[in-house]
A and B are shown apart, each in its own frame.
Chain A
Amino acid sequence: MKTADIYGGIIGILIGAYAIWEGSRMPTDVVMKIGPSFFPNILAGFLILFSVILLINALKGRSKGTVEPMRLSDKGVQRGLITLAATIVFCVVLEPLGFIPTAIIFLVFMMLVMGKRSALAMVIAPPLVTLSIWLIFEKVLYLSLPPGVLVDIL
């Protein structure tokens, strides 16, 4: 956890420093003395303070807990990274391709990633899940989902 805490502390300090820098460019309120930067500056100050404490503790070897290191050779980590890429692609293509095709392709792909090999499950589950969600949102709740390429059919 030591290295992770060092990184965590540095990120905390950077976020706090950014907030203070951004705050310095905000206008000050002449009437009430405290303007829009007053509250964020206090919060950023505290975030930096606790980040520094975390950093010092980590450097002194007083970090608590353990964390399993992320190794690229680990199957779980590989699945995690593939999932991350798949979720980003899902978000990017959701609007142009439309909800139904995107969700079906995503579900089939993720089932494969998670080790599902049954052809029958692949054929039945993704369309069933997708259509159920689509029906609930579109037909029961009247909330529209991106139609995408199926715009003329739906």
Chain B
Amino acid sequence: MEFNWELMLSSYAAVFTPSILFMICIGTTAGIVIGALPGLTATMGVALLVPLTFGRPPLESLSMLMGIYCGAMYGGAISAILIRTPGTPAAAATVMEGYPMAKRGEAGRAMAMALFASFFGGIVGALIMTFASPFISNVALEFGPVEYFGLAIFGLSVIISISGRSMIKGMMSAFFGLLISAIGFDPISGFPRFTFGMVEMMEGPPFIPTLIGLFAVSEVFSEVQKTGVVQQVKAKLDQYLPSWKDIKYCFRELCRSSIIGTVIGAIPGAGGDIAAFISYGEAKRASKNPERYGHGEIEGLAASECANNSCSGGAMIPLLSLGVPGDAVTAVLLGAFVIQGLQPGPMLYKEHIDIVYQIFASMMLAQFAMQFIGMAGIQLFARVIMVDRAILTPSIFVLSMVGAFAMRSNIFDVYTTLAFGILGYVMTRYDYPLSPILLALILGPMAEANLRRAMVISAGDPSILVSRPIAVGLMALAVISLVLSIRGHRKVEARMAEMEKQFEKVIQE
């Protein structure tokens, strides 16, 4: 599939309409606010606001969600810099340099660089997404059930290997999620499994209520336990754009981190937090002044912010071209696509190529919206952090429940949300990562249905699984990634622990 320039231009024209631009701006603003509020992540933001897209045209809905995704990735930096609390996990690395800068009285400079780095990373990520996805989908068009099975296995192996602090618990989460995905009608014979005789369970646990429960309601339960005195922001924010000198100083890191972020984003399972930490670590390693890191080095701040925003473009590549989400947020986005009647993957390029290019365009415009809204509303977003938790937290619960109910007007979905909320809270408390469950819910049916389809084609002969070179390659990659991650897990763990130690040090200082 050649890259279609003509379609690209017409897609920009389609997105450049007042209603779409308005939705992008609304989404971006909501995203920045959600990202800025500690405890509210990009995944939660998209999950909470997906119900607002029910019944809206696909382009409007998806543009708004793109805006939320991009905005939230930047928003996390605001609280990271101003109150040393990362608004999203992806901004944890930002705290290490951003907060010391704010303490030195350079909050304005740090905020301006965070916004610009986010914009730069976002643009690079969106550009790579625009040009890489069509080619990957072209290859994927040749995929049959065997290749899809291989792809799902590869995705699952990567998710398992990189998720969470404890690999065993990551594995348990993933297999538990896969078992949940097996609830409902069997994809081939239609036999109802694990339904406990409930009609509502025949189609499996409803996706949107499940993820709202896991990512929003669980957070409500942990938020109510905290006794938080709302921190007051007194920093002077007088800079909207970084100085030319700062841009020149950080330019090398901006370029490097945006590439690292996009590549990490494109790997299924790896999200903005990992991208930011790895880019930050690489920036420190390559720096001429590594001793400045941890004391407010603007280069480290730029690396972390740039990486977590470019990650969003990267994560969209496997989602659009293969139908496999790159991280937890894109897994939620996949749900939003399905609600709109669009199934991400190579067929999306065949059947709805116009929508695909419009998504490219809206992702790019969301970056510009983020830069302008971020500059214009910097004072306001800094105030948002001080919002009263006693009002916000219960309101999030109400919105979650309404969102879960609204799609099918079914009270069963409300109970599902609550059940998954409690489950999510307990799992997070005891260090079981939640993202593998979400991704397993998508990859599980894909793996099973394609395996069984392949077996139907081969009349039960399992040798079909090794009959196609791409499938064999993908499965070999799955084995390699598992072996490497088991061997390298300790090393990665040690590095992450070192980073966390530094992070704690900055927090305590």
Contacts and interface: CB of A to CB of B under 8 A. Distances in A.
Contact of A50 (B172, B430, B431): B172
| Interface bin, chain A | 35 or more
A4 B431 CA distance: 10
Nearest to A109: B394
A103 B398 contact: yes
Interface string B389-431: 1110111011101100111010100110010011000000111
Interface string A109-153: 011011110000100010001100100110001111110000000
A106 B394 contact: yes
B166 A65 contact: yes
B178 A43 contact: yes
Contacts of B227: 75-76, 115
Contact of A15 (B56, B165, B179, B452): B179
A39 B443 CA distance: 13
Contacts, number: 186
B230 to A, nearest CB: 12
B456 interface: yes
A130 B194 contact: no
A44 B179 contact: yes
A132 to B, nearest CB: 9
Interface stretch (B218-226, B247-255, B302-310, B468-476): B218-226
B481 to A, nearest CB: 17
B479 to A, nearest CB: 15
Nearest to A30: B460
Contacts of A142: 55
A80 B222 CA distance: 7
Interface in B39-94: 51-52, 54-56
Interface string A26-53: 1101011111111110011011001101
Nearest to A104: B398
A78 B315 CA distance: 40
Given A40-B182, A47-B176, A77-B225, A116 B390 contact: yes
Given A46-B171, A83-B221, A107 B398 contact: yes
Interface of A: 1, 4-5, 8, 12, 15-16, 19, 22-23, 26-27, 29, 31-40, 43-44, 46-47, 50-51, 53-54, 57, 64-65, 67, 75-77, 79-80, 83-84, 87-88, 90-91, 94-95, 99, 103, 106-107, 110-111, 113-116, 121, 125, 129-130, 133, 136-137, 141-146
17 contacts: A26-B191, A27-B189, A29-B189, A31-B459, A39-B452, A43-B444, A76-B224, A76-B225, A87-B418, A87-B421, A90-B397, A91-B401, A91-B414, A94-B411, A114-B394, A129-B395, A146-B411
